[in-house]
Amino acid sequence: MSSESGPTLHRRLGLLNATSINMSNMVGIGPFITIPLILVTLGGPHSYLAWVLGMLIALADGLVVSELGAALPASGGTYVFLREGFGPNKLGRMLAFLFVWQILFAGPLEIATGNIGLVQYLKVFWPSMTAFQMQLAAAAIGVVLIIALYRKITDIAKIMLGLWIVMIITTGWVILTGIFAFDPKIAFDIPADAFRIDLKFLKGLGEGTANVLYLFLGYYQVCYLGGEVKDPGRTIPRAVVLSVLAVTVIDVLISFVFIGVVPWREAMKSEFLGALFMERVYGPWAGQLLAGMIIVTAFASIYALLLGYSRVPYAAAQDGIFFRWIAALHPTKEFPHRSLLLIGAAAIVASFFSLGDVILALMAARILIQFTAQVVAVFLIRARRPDIHRPFKMWLYPLPALISLVGYLYVFSTLGVYFIGFGLLTLVAGLVVYLIMAAKQKEWPFAN
């Protein structure tokens, strides 16, 4: 073990806090920046077929996460699921390390999407901003984020609740406006050859689903804070399921009301579609007001992301599976400050790339270890670990687990050679690092 004696984590997060952390992360900037990317994948509103597939996968995996999170409520989330599912002194040790390793890539990439998207809406107020200035602004937001999180979890929970309220007001205004301004002729202007099923269609559907699943990323976020959740056997499943269902309704409504006001051919090219939408309905003042509210909502999202991801390397380092110097809490504010700085700094670097590339790289890095391996973990825990109490059991088992597994593998196969290669390369690099460390420390598979 490699933890420092002194401060420890406390269970202080209730259902409201847990749900607000998940939802702020999930809604955030996502629907306001990815709708053009989704429309491009199939070239029209029929691209929203990706919503059907993406929602099905997210709901199924949400049940997987709910069962695992309720059974293993400790800081680290999937890291703990893999370690216990595959065996803490066997393959689980390596997979737990690889999960933390991919978090060093996927976590910062996910945070960077929020940084980049937030800056796109800053362009409403600063239209002459150059591409390089946008990159610098995104990096600067990353610095502000680290400073804002340098405090106790109780203070953070209060801030998150306030930001969550702003998010609800923002999305509520958009949805209500769109319902009354919605024009079905604009929304359902579907191209004549829209449903020609071929390899191009299947690839486009997969890429669109990747963008939809990006919008759902975060339903598991409360599991990363499992060691800080009150009554986790009940709170975690409720927070996960409530978050997935609520965000499904919110994001689908936002997606359709946008293209019911702004024609999809124009929406595909917009960097700040939300502001354009409000401007069309009420005028420039409304576009600027919504842009400001989206900026606050985006900050709430990346705030929740960095909060959750900073706990994963910390939990792994405490177990001696990851670099030991990360296993430290701040001496007075009781949070994993070294882990926070590591993830935050990597997110700043990732903010210099394009939004579309960052999203696809993020999904490529995440799918193989997090989403596919944890599905296998739930099967193994049910079969081999009767000692683990499961307060919540997924409905219709094993169907949700199989839907999640097959769905995520399909999406991965459509990401393109470059991004598939990135996902595999990060995995192989992590495997090499683990084997070197394991050989030096005489750990599995080199243990006597």
Ranges 92-101, 272-281, 283-292: which has the least confidence: 92-101
Q: Kind and range of the H or E element at 9?
A: none
DSSP state of 321: S
Q: CA-to-CA distance for 232 and 222, rounded, in angstroms?
A: 10
Beta bridge partners of 13: 229
Scan for tokens 């919605």, then name that residue. Answer: 182
Under 8 Å between Cβ of 53 and 205: yes
Under 8 Å between Cβ of 284 and 5: no
Q: CA-to-CA distance for 290 and 124, rounded, in angstroms?
A: 10
pLDDT tens for each residue of 228-282: 888 888 899 999 989 988 888 888 899 999 999 999 999 999 999 999 999 999 9
Tokens of residue 371, six digits: 């989403």
C-alpha pair distances (Å), 62 with each of 9, 65, 420? 25, 5, 24
- Buried b / exposed e over 342-375, threshold 16 CB at 10 Å, is bbbebbbebbbbebbebbbbbbbbbbbbbbbbbb
> Does 170 fall in a domain?
yes
> Does 1 fall in a domain?
no
Ranges 50-64, 309-323, 352-366: which has the least confidence: 309-323
Asked if the model's pLDDT at residue 3 lies above 50, the reply is no
CA-CA-CA-CA torsion for 157, 163, 167, 170, nearest 10 degrees?
160
**Confidence at 123, pLDDT banded by 50, 70, 90:** very high
Q: What is the mean pLDDT of residues 106-124?
A: 93
pLDDT tens for each residue of 170-195: 889 999 999 999 999 999 899 888 88
With H, G, I as helix, E, B as strand and everything else as coil, classify residue 93.
Answer: helix
**Confidence at 17, pLDDT banded by 50, 70, 90:** confident
Q: CA-to-CA distance for 274 and 294, rounded, in angstroms?
A: 8
> Does 446 fall in a domain?
no
**Confidence at 217, pLDDT banded by 50, 70, 90:** confident
Q: CA-to-CA distance for 115 and 59, rounded, in angstroms?
A: 27
Provide, rounded to the nearest whole percent, the portion of the chain with pLDDT above 70.
Answer: 95
Provide, rounded to the nearest whole percent, the portion of the chain with pLDDT above 90.
Answer: 58
Q: Count how many domains the chain has.
A: 1
> Does 6 fall in a domain?
no
Q: Which domain holds residue 153?
A: 15-441
> Does 3 fall in a domain?
no
> What is the pTM assigned to this prediction?
0.88
CATH number of the CATH domain containing 355: 1.20.1740.10
> Does 5 fall in a domain?
no
Q: CA-to-CA distance for 98 and 86, rounded, in angstroms?
A: 13
Angle formed at CA 232 by CA 227 and CA 236, multiple of 5 degrees: 105
What values do phi and psi take at 13, rounded to 5?
Answer: -95, 120
Average pLDDT along the chain: 89
| pLDDT at site 149 | 84
> Does 71 fall in a domain?
yes
Higher pLDDT, 151 or 227: 227
Asked if the model's pLDDT at residue 109 lies above 70, the reply is yes
Percentages helix, strand, coil for the chain, rounded to the nearest 5? 75, 0, 25
> Does 96 fall in a domain?
yes
Tokens of residue 164, six digits: 């969550």
Tokens of residue 305, six digits: 């992301």
What values do phi and psi take at 430, rounded to 5?
Answer: -65, -40
